[in-house]
Amino acid sequence: MKKVIYLYKSGRLLCKDYSLILKDKKDYVNYIPIEQIDTLICFGEISINKHTLSLLNKHNIVILFFNFYGQYIGKFTPKQYLDGKILINQIYAFENERIRNHIARTMIISSLKNCLALLKYYNKKLFPLLDNIIEIESIIKECKNKSVNELLLLEAQAKKIYFNSFDIILEKEKYHFIKRTKNPPQNEINALLSYGYSLLYANYISVTDRSRLYSQISFVHSLTKCSESLQFDLADILKPVLVDRLVLSLCRHKLLKDEYFDYKSDRCYLNKEGVKFFVEKYENYLLKTIKINNRYYSYRNLISREVHLLSNYIANESNDYKPYIMKW
């Protein structure tokens, strides 16, 4: 199976003998077999030449660039031969109020049901979350026949209740959530969530860029938020499954250390040791499998499945769009 390769060191990315090498300032060389690579995610300062880009293009490898704090900068995407018919269908789905509302409603309800499933899991572990669960269930019922703007307001209400549940779950732990803060994150849990969401966005960018979908056309998030806003639509569905659940588990199993974080006045970020720790846990988590309709998927393959479900619906190759909903 091909892998996502994370590059933290700075240097020159070159090709030699049909493999990639990363040569740092001291001419120390790391070899990366080209056949093993699905996506490269670069956090260091990387320089690259046309010869290397040509090799990456030939092997259909995406490179994503992030700064040290996990903020997305840009990408290199292999040349794609996109389907004009799908573009027309996706634009039509966006401009048709009925279809757009159906897709947006399905995405938001699926996201909230996954939030609900996570809370139900912890409620079964005797955390007092029943009132919050009932409130979110009530909001989900209100989502029927609402416009996109109305759905966003309901989603915001539900997410506030959802995140307020985190400190109930973490009440006896060393690290607490308090409230969702980003740009910058203000404590350890928020730092982990923000970094995890960035990794999940990267996974979706890598898949959507090699799918038939156009990442610039989204259905929930504003097109002005980002030039590739579809990643946010799709990632919101699986955030509770792939990031929130992992972060809460790491905290409750007491695997976090102060040494994983850098503290600067009112902000908190993962440091190099923390990034290495979290990325390893995240990648291992994506290898876990679940069963859907008598077929097993790794969580990494689930991301691809979600993209293709939407693609098939927009292409009129399926009658409905049903994202993954976690069961507990």
Total domains present in the chain: 2
| Same structural domain, 134 and 268 | yes
| Same structural domain, 220 and 288 | yes
Q: What is the pLDDT of residue 223?
A: 65
Domain boundary among 56, 76, 96: 76
Q: What sign does the dihedral 297-159-266-173 (CA atoms) show?
A: negative
> Is 152 a domain residue?
yes
Give the CATH number for residue 88.
1.20.120.920
Residue type, 121: Y
Q: Residue 79 pLDDT > 90, yes or no? A: no
DSSP E strands in 91-243: the ranges are none
| Same structural domain, 279 and 173 | yes
Q: Residue 224 pLDDT > 70, yes or no? A: no
Strand partners, 61: none
pLDDT band at residue 276 under the 50/70/90 scheme: very high
Contact of 268 with 186, CB cutoff 8 Å? yes
Contact of 256 with 250, CB cutoff 8 Å? yes
Mean pLDDT, the chain, integer: 92
Q: Residue 226 pLDDT > 80, yes or no? A: no
pLDDT band at residue 25 under the 50/70/90 scheme: confident
Encode pLDDT of 149-165 as tens digits.
999 999 999 999 999 99
How far is the C-alpha of 87 from the C-alpha of 93, rounded, in Å?
10
> Is 166 a domain residue?
yes
Domain containing 213: what range?
A: 84-314
Q: What is the pLDDT of residue 265?
A: 85
pLDDT band at residue 228 under the 50/70/90 scheme: confident
| Same structural domain, 57 and 179 | no
**Token digits for 231?**
């990643």
Contact of 7 with 41, CB cutoff 8 Å? yes
How far is the C-alpha of 242 from the C-alpha of 239, rounded, in Å?
5
Q: What is the pLDDT of residue 18?
A: 75
| Same structural domain, 115 and 60 | no
| Same structural domain, 63 and 88 | no
How far is the C-alpha of 205 from the C-alpha of 39, rounded, in Å?
10
| Same structural domain, 70 and 149 | no
Domain boundary among 59, 76, 93: 76
Domain boundary among 76, 101, 131: 76
User: pTM of the prediction?
Assistant: 0.93
Higher pLDDT, 100 or 228: 100
In the chain the first and final C-alpha atoms are separated, in Å, by 30
How far is the C-alpha of 90 from the C-alpha of 104, rounded, in Å?
13
> Is 320 a domain residue?
no
Give the CATH number for residue 40.
3.100.10.20
Encode pLDDT of 45-56 as tens digits.
999 999 999 999
Q: CA distances (Å), 280 to each of 43, 71, 139, 205, 273, in order?
A: 15, 18, 36, 20, 11
| Same structural domain, 94 and 71 | no
| Same structural domain, 299 and 278 | yes
